[in-house]
């Protein structure tokens, strides 16, 4: 494109909330033949809400006697809770203890999942203490000292790495994941107090789950991209079952879902997609996504994303609307067409 056409194209796009980092980017976008979406915060709102709290004792869900409990002992909580603590949102004792421990451990976390757990606990009138020795385990969860002991909150791998068996919670985890929720395990790590008789690595305390909502325009965007012959896939650190539930909702093929991808492996996943010579646009919002945005033929950051993502990207969508990916494609095509 001529510099003039490029400038006009960029300006038109900018007034529509699509920012290109330079004219060469504007030209590159039209050659994109694959789009890779990050799940959380991109296809979904990324605003997690705590939905389920299932306390365990002796490797089994407890709370069977509770009339408000779901069949396996979980207390179903309306995700549309207001932010005022109220008796309606109160949880019974084992759940209170579980949620308090989880929220305390997560109060040092900046991860949306951690923030949802803390907010969910506060909503239910639960006091959240400051953790001791907080440790973030990227792509896995957190570990921190709480009044209930040294606590882990995270995925199956986090527990296994700490020698704690997540299997007793498998049924509960799978049920929640099929609902498209992110289920997290909560466990207490046994203190190393020299008590030789006690060789257990720790104890499973329960499961908490959060739900995110799919952005309204995600489905329509995916279908329009596919109509244009663009291969659409999804990349996420979240587990396979949750990822597939979300993919189904937005119309992405199950075999184009790459789940449980560690933050440091996201760029490799994009490279794998591009291995057949396809030119991928990676659309993401998080700190985790920066290397993947750089690796992709075109990196697209979605508006409310982190500064790191925006810096790594070639295109920034100022609004939180996946549909603007289509707008970027159209502007690029129109600009190039003008000089033909
Ligand atoms: P995403 O790619 O969806 O942003 P991450 O790579 O950050 O996900 O995390 C992957 C998984 O690790 C999460 O789905 C969750 O199971 C676990 N996890 C990460 N951070 C936390 C946290 N602060 N608390 C609990 N679990 C976490
Ligand atoms: Mg993310």
pLDDT in tens, 305-318: 678 888 889 999 98
**How many CB atoms lie under 10 A from the CB of residue 81?**
18
Q: What is this structure's pTM?
A: 0.76
* Between residues 297 and 23, the one the model is more confident about: 297
Of the residues 211, 227, 262, the one at which a domain ends:
211
User: Largest Cα–Cα distance of the chain, in whole Å?
Assistant: 80
User: Minimal CA–CA distance to 156: which of 69, 238, 275, 273?
Assistant: 238
| Cβ(124)–Cβ(162) below 8 Å | no
Mean pLDDT of all residues in the chain?
87
Binning the chain into helix, strand and coil, the percentages to the nearest 5 are: 40, 25, 35
State how far the Cα of 242 lies from the Cα of 149, in Å rounded to an integer: 30
HSE-CB at 147 with a 13 A cutoff on CA atoms is 10
**142-178 residue pLDDT tens:** 999 999 899 999 999 999 999 999 999 999 999 999 9
Q: What is the pLDDT of residues 62-77, one digit of tens each?
A: 964 343 444 444 444 4
114 close to ligand 1 (CB < 6 Angstrom): yes
Copy the structure tokens of residue 211.
């739900």
State the burial class of residue 199 (Cβ atoms within 10 Å of its Cβ: 0-12, 13-18, 19+).
exposed
Band the pLDDT of 198: cuts 50, 70, 90: low
Task: Examine the domain organization and report whether 191 and 244 are in the same domain.
Answer: no
Between CA 283 and CA 280 the distance in angstroms is 9
Is the ipTM value over 0.85, yes or no?
yes
- Claim to verify: residue 175 and residue 164 sit in the same structural domain: yes
Residues 143 and 132 in one domain: yes
Task: Give strand pairing partners of 143.
Answer: 135, 152
Q: Are residues 220 and 300 part of one domain?
A: yes
The structural domain count of the chain equals 2
Domain stops at, among 168, 193, 211: 211
Same domain, 170 and 75: yes
Which entry of 24, 33, 38, 93 is annotated as an active-site residue?
38
Does residue 236 line the site of ligand 1, with CB under 6 A? yes
Same domain, 121 and 79: yes
Which of 37, 111, 169 has most ligand 1 atoms within 8 Å of CB, for mutation?
Answer: 111
CATH number of the domain where residue 60 is located: 3.40.1110.10
Do residue 33 and residue 57 come from a single domain? no
* Domain boundary residue, one of 211, 236, 262: 211
Shared domain for 170 and 292, answered yes or no, is no
Domain encompassing residue 187? 49-211
Alpha-carbon distances, residue 160 vs 43, 47, 206 (angstroms): 30, 28, 15
Mutation test of ligand 1: which of 40, 118, 139 has the most ligand atoms closer than 8 Å to its C-beta? 139
Burial class (CB in 10 A: 0-12, 13-18, 19+), 254: exposed
Q: Does ligand 1 lie within 6 Å of residue 39's CB atom?
A: yes
Alpha helices in 149-200 (DSSP H): 156-161, 170-178
- How far, in Å, is the centroid of ligand 2 from the Cα of 6? 32
pLDDT given at position 286: 76
Tell the residue nearest (CA) to atom 8 of ligand 1. Answer: 237
| Residue 171 and residue 287 in one domain | no
**Percent residues over pLDDT 70 in the chain:** 87
Measured CA to CA, the distance from residue 240 to residue 154 in angstroms comes to 15
pLDDT at 3: 77
Is residue 54 within 8 Å of residue 212, measured between CB atoms? no
* Listed residue (136, 189, 135, 141) closest to 163, CA to CA: 189
Picking from 143, 282, 251, 242, the residue whose alpha carbon sits closest to that of residue 202 is 143
Cα separation, 175 vs 204, in Å, equals 18
The number of C-alpha atoms within 13 Å of 194 and in the hemisphere containing its C-beta is 0
Instruction: Report the nearest atom of ligand 1 relative to the CA of 182.
Output: 14
Question: Does the annotation count 38 as an active-site position?
Answer: yes
**Whether residue 157 sits in one domain with residue 74:** yes
Query: Is the pLDDT at 187 greater than 90, yes or no?
Result: yes
Can you read off the two tokens belonging to residue 335?
């600009």
- d(CA 189, CA 85) in angstroms, rounded, equals 30
Same domain, 66 and 188: yes
């Amino acid at each position: 494109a001529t510099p003039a056409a490029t400038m006009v194209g960029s300006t038109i796009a900018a007034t529509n909330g699509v920012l290109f980092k330079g004219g060469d980017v504007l030209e590159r976008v039209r050659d994109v033949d694959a789009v890779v979406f990050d799940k959380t915060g991109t296809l979904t709102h990324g605003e997690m809400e705590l939905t389920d709290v299932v306390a365990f004792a002796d490797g089994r869900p407890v709370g069977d006697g509770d009339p408000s409990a779901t069949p396996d002992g979980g207390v179903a909580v309306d995700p549309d809770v207001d932010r005022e603590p109220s008796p309606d949102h109160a949880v019974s004792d084992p759940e209170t203890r579980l949620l308090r421990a989880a929220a305390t451990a997560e109060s040092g976390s900046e991860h949306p999942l951690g923030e949802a757990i803390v907010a969910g606990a506060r909503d239910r009138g639960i006091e959240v203490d400051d953790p001791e020795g907080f440790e973030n385990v990227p792509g896995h969860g957190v570990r921190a000292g709480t009044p209930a002991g040294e606590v882990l909150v995270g995925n199956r791998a986090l527990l296994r790495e700490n020698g704690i068996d997540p299997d007793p919670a498998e049924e509960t985890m799978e049920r929640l994941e099929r609902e498209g929720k992110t289920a997290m395990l909560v466990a207490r790590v046994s203190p190393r107090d020299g008590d030789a008789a006690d060789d257990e690595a720790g104890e499973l305390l329960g499961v908490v789950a959060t739900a995110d909502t799919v952005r309204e325009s995600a489905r329509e965007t995916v279908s329009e991209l596919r109509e244009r012959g663009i291969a659409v896939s999804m990349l996420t650190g979240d587990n396979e079952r949750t990822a597939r539930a979300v993919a189904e909702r937005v119309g992405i093929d199950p075999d184009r879902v790459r789940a449980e991808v560690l933050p440091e492996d996201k760029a490799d996943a994009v490279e794998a997609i591009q291995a057949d010579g396809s030119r991928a646009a990676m659309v993401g919002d998080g700190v985790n996504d920066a290397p993947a945005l750089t690796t992709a033929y075109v990196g697209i950051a979605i508006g409310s994303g982190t500064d790191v993502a925006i810096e790594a990207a070639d295109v920034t969508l100022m609004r939180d609307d996946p549909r603007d990916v289509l707008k970027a494609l159209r502007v690029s095509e129109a600009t190039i067409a003008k000089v033909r």
